[in-house]
């Protein structure tokens, strides 16, 4: 996978050979139809802005029946395809000057990319939405002066480093230190 500013393959270079990150590589045998999960072996840090290039490569040692997948027509050439049944060696080493012949397609494979944020919880983000804002103030206010066993006790509001059994000014001072923090 790699980030790219391009949105189609209307002009060269077609095969970009640098900047790729291998996120998954394995010998797979797929015999059933339906969605298939491939859990990344290496994390990919998406920048949240650019388009992505995703290289789906398979290299059989001889001719086999072609594979297929569900696609969506995008109206512009956003996919490059080639096949050669190992007559042009490893596809991962192809370039614009060495490949079996490429053609563009407007049909894009239907895929789902699922990610997880592996960050520590943000202190003072009492409604875990990655922002310390007015909602969190209201959660802290509802728990104000409460102790364990009180109906309004909220252990998440006990923010002070040494946990004392009351939500008070010490917790408010920690909260203020994180006011308007957010996670991108």
Query: In this predicted model, what pLDDT tens digit does every residue of 55-109 receive, in sequence order?
Result: 888 777 777 776 778 999 999 999 988 877 667 777 777 877 777 778 889 999 9
pLDDT number for residue 96: 74
Q: Which of 17-21, 102-106, 113-117, 141-145 has the lowest mean pLDDT?
A: 113-117
Higher local confidence (pLDDT), 182 or 142: 142
Q: What percent of the chain has pLDDT over 90?
A: 43
Give the number of residues written for the chain. 184
Flag whether pLDDT at 46 surpasses 90.
no
Domain at 121-184, CATH homologous superfamily: Dockerin domain (1.10.1330.10)
Domain boundaries, the chain: 1-116, 121-184
pTM: 0.59
């Amino acid at each position: 996978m790699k980030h790219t500013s391009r949105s189609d393959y209307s002009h060269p270079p077609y095969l970009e050979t640098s900047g790729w990150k291998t996120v998954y590589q394995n010998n797979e045998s797929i015999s059933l139809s339906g969605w298939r999960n491939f859990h990344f072996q290496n994390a990919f840090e998406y920048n949240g802005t650019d388009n992505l290039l995703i290289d789906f490569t398979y290299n059989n040692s001889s001719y086999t029946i072609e594979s297929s997948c569900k696609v969506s027509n995008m109206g512009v050439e956003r996919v490059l395809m080639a096949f050669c049944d190992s007559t042009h060696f490893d596809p991962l080493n192809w370039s614009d000057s060495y490949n079996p012949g490429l053609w563009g397609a407007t049909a894009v494979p239907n895929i789902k990319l699922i990610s997880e944020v592996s960050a520590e919880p943000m202190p003072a983000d009492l409604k875990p939405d990655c922002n310390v804002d007015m909602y969190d103030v209201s959660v802290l206010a509802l728990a104000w002066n409460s102790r364990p066993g009180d109906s309004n006790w909220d252990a998440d509001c006990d923010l002070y480093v040494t946990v004392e059994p009351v939500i008070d000014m010490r917790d408010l001072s920690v909260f203020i230190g994180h006011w308007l923090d957010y996670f991108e």
